[in-house]
Amino acid sequence: MNAAHPDKPPLSAPKSPPTRLHNWLITLSLLAVATLLASFFFCIMDNPTSNISLVYILAVFLVARFTSGYGYGLFASFFGVACVNFLFTFPFFKLNFTLTGYPITFVAMFTISSITSAITSNMKKQAQILSDREKILMEAEKEKMRANLLRAISHDLRTPLTSIIGSSTVYLENGANLTESQKSDLIRHILEDSNWLLNMVENLLSVTRINNVTAKVNKSSEPVEEVISEAVIRLKKRLPDAKINVKVPDDFLMIPMDAVLIEQVLINLMENAIVHSKSSEPVECSVDVSQSFVTFRVRDYGIGIPPEKLSTIFDGSSSTTSTATDGRKGMGIGLSICKTIISAHGGEIKAINHTHGAEFYFSLPKEDIKIDS
């Protein structure tokens, strides 16, 4: 939730480059293995020169892959050419480039080995650049999410607090002149805004369960039916008159998740449907199962979502279908946190309109998958 801070740990600890000693050990070890294999081929084959050359080219490739810098690969290239000439080409144990065809053969081998080393080293550098760029983009996305949440908090907290302060001030300063009905209305408004603030605090606390460095959550296998049931129970404590129809598969279903966070997502979506749909029809909460994902759906039968808000509804910068009379109960922060939670689970959340209202749905992987950070 906090903006960038000097004490914040980095996204991931950078890997220290291999030491020169480590690089030389890898290089010499691979060349030694290549020489042993070449000796084996030399003993069992009639004309092993081409196969021996391929063995050393493979060794050069592996040296370039597992060491840092071009020098080790070039050394391996020169070493391989020299070994083929000195150990495995007649006259043996002598460097002789004067035989017909051998200069071209050795130059070609050295060129191929050198190019292979250069290409492999360059690919490693490009892969590292792409990895660093991906980390920067992920960090920028996290900072954008934090900024959106802060904007949503500043809006969603200010309005109900202003209402509470105003209502309580009116009650204290003009209590003697108010009727019992007016006093009850003021108290009821204070209670409603206080409950709304409590809901937002619960949302904010749920974000603290997400690892701030890796944007991951601690997941365990949880029964889907119990998670939905607990979410409905918690929601009805705040909205006793809420009408919710739940439909889950007959088969017992367990998937990896942080149950508390997914309950919070379901509560946010169901409360959003109840408060903003402007409908007395029950809200439907259902679960679909596919081969790899489990999809949770919350559908209402109300006024739907303005089409221009569908693409930005989860960014935390706008409310949902709230009007001016209930603007203090915008779901900008709630929906933004829903997206944060589902993304941390490796899932996806979306909102659509159907013929008679709106539907929010999110999918979670059935198996615990590793998300690269």
pLDDT tens digits for range 328-343: 455 556 788 888 889 8
- Of residues 54, 71, 35, 67, the one with CA closest to residue 112: 54
Shared domain for 112 and 234, answered yes or no, is no
Q: The CATH number of the domain where 261 resides is what?
A: 3.30.565.10
Shared domain for 218 and 334, answered yes or no, is yes
74-78, 205-209, 322-326, 350-354: least confident range: 322-326
Q: In the structure encoding, which two tokens stand for residue 217, read together?
A: 């959550």
pLDDT band at 294 (very low <50, low <70, confident <90, very high): very high
Q: In the structure encoding, which two tokens stand for residue 100, read together?
A: 């017909």
Q: Whole-structure pTM over 0.95, yes or no?
A: no
CA distances from 178 to 173, 188, 321 (A): 10, 15, 34
188-197, 282-291, 364-373: least confident range: 364-373
Q: Of 84, 106, 134, at which residue does a domain stop?
A: 134
In the chain the beta strands, taken as DSSP E runs, fall at 220-223, 244-247, 254-257, 283-289, 293-299, 348-354, 357-365
Round to whole Å and give the CA distance between 86 and 102: 12
**pLDDT at position 215:** 63
Asked if the structure places residue 93 within a domain, the reply is: yes
pLDDT band at 162 (very low <50, low <70, confident <90, very high): confident
Q: Of 102, 134, 166, at which residue does a domain stop?
A: 134
Cis previous bond, 17, omega within 30: no
The per-residue pLDDT of the chain, averaged, comes to: 79
pLDDT band at 367 (very low <50, low <70, confident <90, very high): confident
**pLDDT at position 6:** 40
Shared domain for 36 and 124, answered yes or no, is yes
Q: Of 115, 134, 153, at which residue does a domain stop?
A: 134
**pLDDT at position 18:** 61
Residues 234-284: tens digit of each pLDDT: 888 888 889 999 999 988 999 999 888 899 899 989 998 998 888 889 999
Q: Please give the residue that has the higher pLDDT: either 351 or 238.
A: 351
- Of residues 192, 183, 184, the one with CA closest to residue 163: 192
**pLDDT at position 4:** 40
Question: What does the pLDDT average to over 185-208?
Answer: 80
Round to whole Å and give the CA distance between 117 and 143: 39
Domain that holds residue 35: 20-134
Question: What does the pLDDT average to over 46-51?
Answer: 74
Asked if the structure places residue 373 within a domain, the reply is: no
**pLDDT at position 98:** 62
Residues 104-152: tens digit of each pLDDT: 666 766 677 677 767 777 787 888 888 888 888 878 877 776 676 666 6
Percentage of the chain lying above the pLDDT 90 cut = 23
Q: Say whether pLDDT at 103 is over 80.
A: no
Shared domain for 222 and 126, answered yes or no, is no
**pLDDT at position 96:** 66
Asked if the structure places residue 143 within a domain, the reply is: no
